[in-house]
Amino acid sequence: MPDHENRTRTVRQADEAHATTSHEHLAPHHVMVGDLGVFAGDWAAYDHHGRTRYPTGFVGRLDAQRGRDGQYAVFSCDRAVAEAIVAEQGRLRDETRQRLTAGGLRGPDLDAEVDLTYAPLRFDGDEIVMDERLVHGEADRISRICPDADGRYAICAWQWEWRTVAPTDCDHVVGAAPTAADQPARIPLVHSPLHVPHDRLTVTNLHQRLAYNGVAFTATLCLDGTPVGMIEYDGNGGETWLRHHDPARFSWRDMHEFVLGCRYLRQPTDEGKVLDRLVTEYDLARQIAPMPPNATLARSVNDDGDFCGDTVALESLHGLDRLNQPVAWTDLARYLATFKRSSLSTHWQVWRNGFWRDVPALAATADVGANRH
Protein backbone atom coordinates (compact mmCIF):
# COMPACT_ATOMS: atom_id res chain seq x y z
CA MET A 1 0.00 0.00 0.00
CA PRO A 2 1.19 3.62 -0.53
CA ASP A 3 2.92 5.15 2.48
CA HIS A 4 1.12 7.68 4.70
CA GLU A 5 2.52 10.76 2.96
CA ASN A 6 1.64 9.52 -0.52
CA ARG A 7 -1.79 8.39 0.60
CA THR A 8 -2.53 11.76 2.23
CA ARG A 9 -1.48 13.47 -1.01
CA THR A 10 -3.73 11.10 -2.99
CA VAL A 11 -6.73 11.84 -0.76
CA ARG A 12 -6.14 15.58 -1.04
CA GLN A 13 -5.89 15.36 -4.83
CA ALA A 14 -9.08 13.28 -4.99
CA ASP A 15 -10.94 15.81 -2.85
CA GLU A 16 -9.72 18.68 -5.01
CA ALA A 17 -10.74 16.85 -8.19
CA HIS A 18 -14.28 16.45 -6.88
CA ALA A 19 -14.55 19.86 -5.24
CA THR A 20 -16.02 21.58 -8.28
CA THR A 21 -18.29 18.68 -9.31
CA SER A 22 -21.45 17.62 -7.51
CA HIS A 23 -21.69 13.86 -7.09
CA GLU A 24 -24.74 13.89 -4.84
CA HIS A 25 -26.66 11.81 -7.40
CA LEU A 26 -24.05 9.06 -6.90
CA ALA A 27 -24.28 9.04 -3.11
CA PRO A 28 -24.97 5.45 -1.97
CA HIS A 29 -28.45 6.28 -0.67
CA HIS A 30 -29.42 7.65 -4.09
CA VAL A 31 -28.26 4.66 -6.14
CA MET A 32 -31.05 2.10 -6.55
CA VAL A 33 -31.34 -1.20 -8.39
CA GLY A 34 -30.97 -0.54 -12.11
CA ASP A 35 -28.96 2.67 -11.61
CA LEU A 36 -25.31 3.31 -12.41
CA GLY A 37 -23.08 3.88 -9.43
CA VAL A 38 -19.57 3.52 -8.05
CA PHE A 39 -18.57 0.32 -6.23
CA ALA A 40 -15.59 -0.75 -4.15
CA GLY A 41 -14.57 -3.81 -2.13
CA ASP A 42 -14.66 -3.86 1.66
CA TRP A 43 -11.35 -5.73 1.63
CA ALA A 44 -9.53 -2.75 0.11
CA ALA A 45 -10.91 -0.10 2.48
CA TYR A 46 -8.53 1.91 4.64
CA ASP A 47 -8.92 4.53 7.34
CA HIS A 48 -7.90 8.12 6.72
CA HIS A 49 -8.32 10.29 9.83
CA GLY A 50 -11.44 8.40 10.86
CA ARG A 51 -12.91 8.37 7.36
CA THR A 52 -13.29 5.16 5.35
CA ARG A 53 -11.74 5.43 1.92
CA TYR A 54 -11.05 3.10 -1.01
CA PRO A 55 -8.06 3.06 -3.38
CA THR A 56 -10.26 2.48 -6.43
CA GLY A 57 -13.94 2.79 -7.21
CA PHE A 58 -15.46 1.04 -10.23
CA VAL A 59 -18.40 2.34 -12.25
CA GLY A 60 -21.11 -0.24 -12.86
CA ARG A 61 -24.83 -0.94 -12.74
CA LEU A 62 -26.46 -2.00 -9.47
CA ASP A 63 -28.30 -5.23 -10.30
CA ALA A 64 -29.29 -6.38 -6.81
CA GLN A 65 -28.55 -5.98 -3.12
CA ARG A 66 -27.75 -8.64 -0.57
CA GLY A 67 -26.82 -9.01 3.08
CA ARG A 68 -28.41 -7.36 6.05
CA ASP A 69 -30.32 -4.25 4.98
CA GLY A 70 -28.89 -4.68 1.49
CA GLN A 71 -25.46 -3.55 2.62
CA TYR A 72 -23.63 -5.37 -0.16
CA ALA A 73 -23.99 -4.58 -3.85
CA VAL A 74 -24.38 -6.98 -6.75
CA PHE A 75 -23.23 -5.03 -9.77
CA SER A 76 -22.11 -5.55 -13.34
CA CYS A 77 -19.65 -3.58 -15.45
CA ASP A 78 -18.28 -3.30 -18.98
CA ARG A 79 -15.07 -4.91 -20.26
CA ALA A 80 -12.84 -1.90 -19.54
CA VAL A 81 -13.92 -1.73 -15.90
CA ALA A 82 -13.65 -5.52 -15.56
CA GLU A 83 -10.06 -5.32 -16.78
CA ALA A 84 -9.39 -2.68 -14.12
CA ILE A 85 -10.85 -4.94 -11.41
CA VAL A 86 -8.59 -7.78 -12.54
CA ALA A 87 -5.62 -5.39 -12.50
CA GLU A 88 -6.56 -4.16 -9.02
CA GLN A 89 -6.66 -7.74 -7.77
CA GLY A 90 -3.17 -8.18 -9.19
CA ARG A 91 -1.99 -5.02 -7.42
CA LEU A 92 -3.37 -6.27 -4.10
CA ARG A 93 -1.65 -9.62 -4.64
CA ASP A 94 1.66 -7.85 -5.32
CA GLU A 95 1.32 -5.72 -2.18
CA THR A 96 0.50 -8.80 -0.11
CA ARG A 97 3.47 -10.67 -1.53
CA GLN A 98 5.82 -7.77 -0.69
CA ARG A 99 4.46 -7.52 2.85
CA LEU A 100 4.72 -11.25 3.51
CA THR A 101 8.20 -11.41 1.98
CA ALA A 102 9.31 -8.61 4.28
CA GLY A 103 7.98 -10.72 7.14
CA GLY A 104 10.21 -13.62 6.15
CA LEU A 105 7.81 -15.88 4.23
CA ARG A 106 9.30 -17.62 1.20
CA GLY A 107 8.66 -20.30 -1.42
CA PRO A 108 5.47 -22.39 -1.65
CA ASP A 109 4.24 -21.08 1.70
CA LEU A 110 4.42 -17.52 0.35
CA ASP A 111 2.55 -18.45 -2.84
CA ALA A 112 -0.15 -20.26 -0.89
CA GLU A 113 -0.69 -17.37 1.53
CA VAL A 114 -0.98 -14.86 -1.31
CA ASP A 115 -3.56 -17.05 -3.08
CA LEU A 116 -5.50 -17.52 0.15
CA THR A 117 -5.62 -13.77 0.68
CA TYR A 118 -6.46 -12.74 -2.90
CA ALA A 119 -7.43 -15.40 -5.43
CA PRO A 120 -5.71 -15.07 -8.82
CA LEU A 121 -7.79 -13.47 -11.58
CA ARG A 122 -6.90 -13.32 -15.26
CA PHE A 123 -8.57 -12.89 -18.62
CA ASP A 124 -8.73 -15.82 -21.04
CA GLY A 125 -10.27 -14.36 -24.19
CA ASP A 126 -13.60 -12.84 -23.14
CA GLU A 127 -13.78 -14.84 -19.92
CA ILE A 128 -12.28 -14.14 -16.51
CA VAL A 129 -10.61 -17.13 -14.87
CA MET A 130 -10.55 -17.28 -11.07
CA ASP A 131 -8.39 -19.87 -9.31
CA GLU A 132 -9.72 -20.61 -5.80
CA ARG A 133 -8.13 -24.03 -5.32
CA LEU A 134 -6.05 -22.86 -2.36
CA VAL A 135 -8.98 -20.93 -0.90
CA HIS A 136 -11.40 -23.87 -0.82
CA GLY A 137 -8.97 -26.78 -0.98
CA GLU A 138 -10.71 -28.34 -3.96
CA ALA A 139 -8.91 -29.33 -7.14
CA ASP A 140 -11.77 -28.22 -9.39
CA ARG A 141 -12.27 -24.73 -7.93
CA ILE A 142 -11.23 -22.94 -11.09
CA SER A 143 -14.22 -20.92 -12.24
CA ARG A 144 -14.95 -18.75 -15.25
CA ILE A 145 -16.86 -15.48 -15.27
CA CYS A 146 -18.50 -14.92 -18.63
CA PRO A 147 -19.96 -11.68 -19.97
CA ASP A 148 -23.73 -11.49 -20.36
CA ALA A 149 -25.54 -10.77 -23.63
CA ASP A 150 -24.70 -7.07 -23.24
CA GLY A 151 -21.00 -7.75 -22.62
CA ARG A 152 -21.22 -6.96 -18.91
CA TYR A 153 -19.35 -8.81 -16.15
CA ALA A 154 -20.55 -9.53 -12.62
CA ILE A 155 -17.25 -10.29 -10.88
CA CYS A 156 -17.89 -12.41 -7.76
CA ALA A 157 -20.93 -10.22 -7.19
CA TRP A 158 -22.71 -12.75 -4.97
CA GLN A 159 -19.58 -13.79 -3.03
CA TRP A 160 -17.40 -10.74 -2.50
CA GLU A 161 -18.35 -7.87 -0.25
CA TRP A 162 -18.78 -5.04 -2.72
CA ARG A 163 -20.34 -1.77 -1.53
CA THR A 164 -21.94 1.17 -3.25
CA VAL A 165 -19.65 4.09 -2.38
CA ALA A 166 -19.40 7.81 -3.01
CA PRO A 167 -16.90 8.79 -5.72
CA THR A 168 -15.41 11.29 -3.27
CA ASP A 169 -14.46 8.40 -0.98
CA CYS A 170 -12.24 6.85 -3.68
CA ASP A 171 -8.67 7.82 -4.53
CA HIS A 172 -9.62 7.36 -8.17
CA VAL A 173 -12.59 6.03 -10.12
CA VAL A 174 -12.43 3.72 -13.14
CA GLY A 175 -15.15 4.13 -15.75
CA ALA A 176 -17.34 6.97 -16.94
CA ALA A 177 -19.38 8.11 -13.97
CA PRO A 178 -22.92 9.14 -15.00
CA THR A 179 -24.03 12.74 -14.68
CA ALA A 180 -27.13 13.70 -12.73
CA ALA A 181 -28.99 13.95 -16.05
CA ASP A 182 -28.07 10.33 -16.85
CA GLN A 183 -29.62 8.95 -13.69
CA PRO A 184 -33.35 8.19 -13.50
CA ALA A 185 -35.33 10.96 -11.81
CA ARG A 186 -37.19 9.67 -8.76
CA ILE A 187 -39.19 11.51 -6.12
CA PRO A 188 -39.48 10.05 -2.59
CA LEU A 189 -42.97 9.88 -1.17
CA VAL A 190 -43.42 11.54 2.19
CA HIS A 191 -45.31 8.74 3.93
CA SER A 192 -43.92 5.56 2.31
CA PRO A 193 -40.50 4.10 1.41
CA LEU A 194 -41.43 4.43 -2.27
CA HIS A 195 -39.73 6.54 -4.92
CA VAL A 196 -41.76 7.47 -7.99
CA PRO A 197 -40.56 8.73 -11.41
CA HIS A 198 -42.85 11.79 -11.29
CA ASP A 199 -45.58 13.34 -9.14
CA ARG A 200 -48.29 13.61 -11.80
CA LEU A 201 -50.19 10.59 -10.43
CA THR A 202 -52.13 11.34 -7.25
CA VAL A 203 -55.06 9.90 -5.31
CA THR A 204 -58.30 11.56 -4.26
CA ASN A 205 -61.72 10.56 -2.89
CA LEU A 206 -60.69 7.65 -0.67
CA HIS A 207 -63.61 5.61 0.66
CA GLN A 208 -63.02 2.86 3.23
CA ARG A 209 -65.22 0.19 4.79
CA LEU A 210 -64.70 -2.75 7.11
CA ALA A 211 -64.40 -6.11 5.38
CA TYR A 212 -64.20 -9.63 6.77
CA ASN A 213 -60.39 -9.68 6.94
CA GLY A 214 -59.54 -5.99 7.03
CA VAL A 215 -60.37 -2.63 5.52
CA ALA A 216 -61.58 -2.45 1.93
CA PHE A 217 -61.25 0.76 -0.03
CA THR A 218 -61.77 2.52 -3.33
CA ALA A 219 -59.89 5.62 -4.37
CA THR A 220 -59.70 7.78 -7.48
CA LEU A 221 -56.40 7.87 -9.37
CA CYS A 222 -55.72 11.17 -11.11
CA LEU A 223 -53.21 12.21 -13.76
CA ASP A 224 -52.44 15.93 -13.53
CA GLY A 225 -55.59 16.32 -11.44
CA THR A 226 -57.90 14.56 -13.92
CA PRO A 227 -59.45 11.21 -12.88
CA VAL A 228 -58.12 8.32 -14.97
CA GLY A 229 -59.02 5.26 -12.91
CA MET A 230 -60.41 3.68 -9.76
CA ILE A 231 -58.11 1.90 -7.30
CA GLU A 232 -59.87 -0.99 -5.57
CA TYR A 233 -59.05 -3.38 -2.73
CA ASP A 234 -61.56 -5.88 -1.34
CA GLY A 235 -60.06 -6.08 2.16
CA ASN A 236 -59.73 -9.87 2.06
CA GLY A 237 -56.05 -10.26 1.31
CA GLY A 238 -56.19 -9.99 -2.46
CA GLU A 239 -54.29 -7.61 -4.72
CA THR A 240 -54.96 -3.92 -5.03
CA TRP A 241 -55.84 -3.23 -8.66
CA LEU A 242 -56.66 -0.37 -11.01
CA ARG A 243 -59.80 -0.08 -13.13
CA HIS A 244 -59.02 2.36 -15.95
CA HIS A 245 -61.58 5.07 -16.79
CA ASP A 246 -59.94 6.52 -19.88
CA PRO A 247 -57.42 4.16 -21.53
CA ALA A 248 -56.84 6.69 -24.30
CA ARG A 249 -55.51 9.15 -21.72
CA PHE A 250 -53.90 6.68 -19.29
CA SER A 251 -53.70 3.01 -20.25
CA TRP A 252 -52.33 -0.11 -18.56
CA ARG A 253 -49.13 0.46 -20.55
CA ASP A 254 -48.76 3.92 -19.02
CA MET A 255 -49.25 2.44 -15.55
CA HIS A 256 -46.73 -0.29 -16.36
CA GLU A 257 -44.13 2.31 -17.38
CA PHE A 258 -44.78 4.27 -14.20
CA VAL A 259 -44.30 1.15 -12.05
CA LEU A 260 -41.09 0.28 -13.89
CA GLY A 261 -39.70 3.65 -12.81
CA CYS A 262 -40.69 3.17 -9.15
CA ARG A 263 -38.47 1.77 -6.43
CA TYR A 264 -39.85 0.35 -3.18
CA LEU A 265 -37.15 0.07 -0.51
CA ARG A 266 -34.70 0.83 -3.35
CA GLN A 267 -35.83 -2.27 -5.28
CA PRO A 268 -38.07 -2.72 -8.35
CA THR A 269 -41.65 -3.29 -7.29
CA ASP A 270 -45.11 -4.22 -8.57
CA GLU A 271 -48.31 -2.35 -9.36
CA GLY A 272 -50.16 -3.41 -6.21
CA LYS A 273 -47.49 -2.02 -3.90
CA VAL A 274 -47.33 1.24 -5.86
CA LEU A 275 -51.12 1.73 -5.76
CA ASP A 276 -51.25 0.94 -2.03
CA ARG A 277 -48.54 3.52 -1.28
CA LEU A 278 -50.20 6.20 -3.40
CA VAL A 279 -53.37 5.63 -1.37
CA THR A 280 -51.36 5.81 1.87
CA GLU A 281 -49.82 9.09 0.74
CA TYR A 282 -53.27 10.64 0.31
CA ASP A 283 -54.78 9.03 3.42
CA LEU A 284 -52.11 10.23 5.87
CA ALA A 285 -51.82 13.66 4.28
CA ARG A 286 -55.58 14.26 4.69
CA GLN A 287 -55.41 13.21 8.35
CA ILE A 288 -52.45 15.49 9.11
CA ALA A 289 -53.60 18.58 7.19
CA PRO A 290 -56.49 19.71 9.47
CA MET A 291 -54.64 19.17 12.74
CA PRO A 292 -54.06 22.24 14.91
CA PRO A 293 -50.51 23.28 15.90
CA ASN A 294 -50.75 21.59 19.31
CA ALA A 295 -51.71 18.22 17.83
CA THR A 296 -50.05 15.52 15.75
CA LEU A 297 -50.60 12.04 14.36
CA ALA A 298 -49.09 8.72 15.39
CA ARG A 299 -48.95 5.74 13.05
CA SER A 300 -47.86 2.12 13.28
CA VAL A 301 -45.02 0.98 11.01
CA ASN A 302 -42.85 -2.06 10.39
CA ASP A 303 -39.06 -2.26 10.52
CA ASP A 304 -38.88 -0.72 7.03
CA GLY A 305 -40.85 2.33 8.16
CA ASP A 306 -43.84 1.28 6.08
CA PHE A 307 -47.34 2.17 7.32
CA CYS A 308 -49.28 -0.75 8.85
CA GLY A 309 -52.73 0.85 8.96
CA ASP A 310 -53.12 2.13 12.55
CA THR A 311 -53.30 5.82 13.43
CA VAL A 312 -53.85 7.72 16.68
CA ALA A 313 -54.70 11.42 16.70
CA LEU A 314 -52.73 13.10 19.48
CA GLU A 315 -54.65 16.27 20.22
CA SER A 316 -53.78 18.44 23.23
CA LEU A 317 -51.89 15.52 24.76
CA HIS A 318 -49.83 16.68 27.70
CA GLY A 319 -46.13 16.73 26.85
CA LEU A 320 -46.33 17.13 23.07
CA ASP A 321 -44.59 20.47 23.46
CA ARG A 322 -41.72 18.78 25.33
CA LEU A 323 -40.68 16.13 22.81
CA ASN A 324 -37.17 17.53 22.87
CA GLN A 325 -36.88 15.88 26.29
CA PRO A 326 -36.43 12.10 26.75
CA VAL A 327 -39.05 11.87 29.50
CA ALA A 328 -41.73 13.20 27.14
CA TRP A 329 -40.94 10.47 24.62
CA THR A 330 -41.21 7.85 27.36
CA ASP A 331 -44.61 9.21 28.38
CA LEU A 332 -45.75 9.18 24.75
CA ALA A 333 -44.53 5.59 24.27
CA ARG A 334 -46.39 4.53 27.40
CA TYR A 335 -49.57 6.18 26.15
CA LEU A 336 -49.36 4.65 22.65
CA ALA A 337 -48.69 1.21 24.13
CA THR A 338 -52.31 1.19 25.33
CA PHE A 339 -53.55 1.13 21.72
CA LYS A 340 -53.88 -1.97 19.59
CA ARG A 341 -51.78 -2.09 16.45
CA SER A 342 -51.32 -4.43 13.52
CA SER A 343 -49.44 -7.66 14.12
CA LEU A 344 -47.23 -6.63 11.18
CA SER A 345 -46.07 -3.46 12.89
CA THR A 346 -43.04 -3.17 15.15
CA HIS A 347 -43.31 0.36 16.55
CA TRP A 348 -45.01 3.73 16.42
CA GLN A 349 -43.98 6.92 14.69
CA VAL A 350 -45.22 10.47 15.22
CA TRP A 351 -45.41 13.27 12.68
CA ARG A 352 -43.22 16.09 13.89
CA ASN A 353 -41.82 19.13 12.05
CA GLY A 354 -42.57 17.66 8.64
CA PHE A 355 -41.03 14.23 9.28
CA TRP A 356 -41.94 10.90 10.85
CA ARG A 357 -40.04 10.27 14.06
CA ASP A 358 -39.70 6.84 15.71
CA VAL A 359 -41.20 6.55 19.16
CA PRO A 360 -38.64 4.78 21.40
CA ALA A 361 -39.74 1.34 22.57
CA LEU A 362 -40.62 0.85 26.19
CA ALA A 363 -38.58 -1.59 28.26
CA ALA A 364 -40.05 -5.08 28.27
CA THR A 365 -40.87 -4.72 31.96
CA ALA A 366 -42.55 -1.33 31.64
CA ASP A 367 -46.02 -1.15 33.12
CA VAL A 368 -48.26 0.19 30.38
CA GLY A 369 -51.53 -0.67 32.02
CA ALA A 370 -54.49 -2.52 30.58
CA ASN A 371 -55.40 -2.06 26.92
CA ARG A 372 -58.26 0.41 27.11
CA HIS A 373 -58.77 1.17 23.43
State pLDDT tens for residues 223-266.
999 999 999 999 888 899 999 988 889 999 999 999 999 999 99
- Closest listed residue to residue 282, CA positions, set 221, 345, 365, 353: 221
Looking at residue 317, its pLDDT comes to: 65
Name the least confident of 2-16, 204-218, 234-248: 2-16
| Mean pLDDT in residue range 334-357 | 93
Residues 6+ apart with CB under 8 A from 175: 58, 59, 60, 77, 78, 80, 81, 84
Q: Is the distance from CB of 362 to CB of 330 less than 8 angstroms?
A: yes
Could you tell me which residues come within 8 angstroms of residue 185 by beta carbon, excluding any fewer than 6 positions away?
A: 197, 198
User: What is the separation of C-alpha 7 from the centre of its chain, rounded to a whole number of angstroms?
Assistant: 31
* CB hemisphere CA count around 129 (13 angstroms): 8
Domain boundaries of the chain, sorted by first residue: 4-182, 187-285, 291-358
- pLDDT higher than threshold 80 for residue 321: no
Task: Kindly tell me the sign of the dihedral angle through the C-alpha atoms of 176, 182, 184, 185.
Answer: positive
Predicted local confidence at residue 22, as pLDDT: 60
- Euclidean distance between CA atoms 56 and 85, whole angstroms: 9
Output 2 or 120, whichever has higher pLDDT.
120
**69, amino acid identity:** D
Rounded CA separation 312/349 (Å): 10
What's the pLDDT tens digit per position in 276-315? 999 999 999 999 999 988 889 999 999 999 999 999 999 8
| pTM for this prediction | 0.76
Name the residue among 73, 114, 70 with its Cα closest to residue 94: 114
Residues facing 41 on adjacent strands: 162
pLDDT for residue 326: 81
Q: What is the pLDDT of residue 19?
A: 39
Rounded average pLDDT over 117-122: 92
Q: What percent of the chain has pLDDT over 70?
A: 88
pLDDT classification of 182: cutoffs 50, 70, 90:
confident
Cα–Cα distance measured from residue 284 to residue 310, given in angstroms and rounded to the nearest whole number = 11
- DSSP SS3 for 274: helix
DSSP conformation class of 225: T
Model confidence over 268-278: pLDDT tens digits? Answer: 999 999 999 99
Q: Estimate to the nearest angstrom the gap between the alpha carbon of 369 and the chain centroid.
A: 38
Res 11: pLDDT? 44
Flag whether pLDDT at 18 surpasses 50.
no
Q: How many CB atoms lie within 10 A of CB 107?
A: 7
Q: How far apart are the first and last CA of the chain?
A: 63
The answer on pLDDT for 346 being more than 70 is yes
Confidence of residue 185 (pLDDT cuts 50, 70, 90): confident
pLDDT digits (tens, 9 = 90+) for 70-89: 899 999 999 999 999 999 99
Q: What is residue 7's DSSP assignment? A: H
